[in-house]
Amino acid sequence: MRAARLIKMVLLLQSRPSMTAAELARELEVSERTVTRDAQALSEAGVPVYADRGRAGGYRLIGGYRTRLTGLARGEAEALFLSGVPGALREMGLEDAASAAHLKVSAALLPSLRDAPRTAAQRFHLDAPGWFQEPQTPELLPAIAEAVWEDRVVRVRYRRTSLGRAEEDVERELEPYGLVLKAGVWYLAAAVREADAFRVYRVDRFTAVEPGEERFTRVEGEDAFDLPAFWEERAAQFARALLRSEVVVRLTPSGVRQLPYATDPASAREALESAGDADAEGRVTVTLPVESEGVAYTQLMALGPEAEVVAPEALRERFALAARRMREWYG
- CB burial of 139-170 (b: ≥16 within 10 Å; e: otherwise) equals ebbbbbbbbbbeebbbebebeeeeeeeeeeee
Higher pLDDT, 35 or 46: 35
Orientation angle between helical segments 95-108 and 2-15, nearest 10 degrees: 40
C-alpha distances in angstroms, 223 versus 194, 218, 219, 226?
21, 10, 6, 9
What's the confidence (pLDDT) of residue 272?
92
For the segment 242-278, what is each residue's pLDDT rounded down to a tens digit? 788 899 999 999 999 999 999 888 889 889 999 989 9
Q: Where are the alpha helices (DSSP H) in the chain?
A: 2-15, 21-28, 32-44, 74-80, 86-92, 95-108, 116-123, 141-150, 227-242, 253-262, 265-273, 293-301, 313-330
Higher pLDDT, 274 or 132: 274
Q: What one-letter code names the amino acid at 308? A: E
3-state SS assignment for residue 181: strand
Higher pLDDT, 6 or 82: 6
- Mean pLDDT of the region 14-30: 84
Residues 150 and 49: their CA atoms lie apart, in Å, by: 38
Q: Which of 268, 264, 241, 245 is nearest to 256 (CA)?
A: 268
DSSP 189-232: EEEETTTTEEEEEEGGGEEEEEEEEEE--PPPGGGS--HHHHHH
Residues ≥6 apart with Cβ < 8 Å to 77: 101
For the segment 145-163, what is each residue's pLDDT rounded down to a tens digit? 889 888 999 999 998 875 5
Residues 313 and 255: their CA atoms lie apart, in Å, by: 20
Residues 8 and 187: their CA atoms lie apart, in Å, by: 34
The whole-model pTM stands at 0.53
For the segment 199-211, what is each residue's pLDDT rounded down to a tens digit? 999 999 999 999 9
**Stated length of the chain:** 331
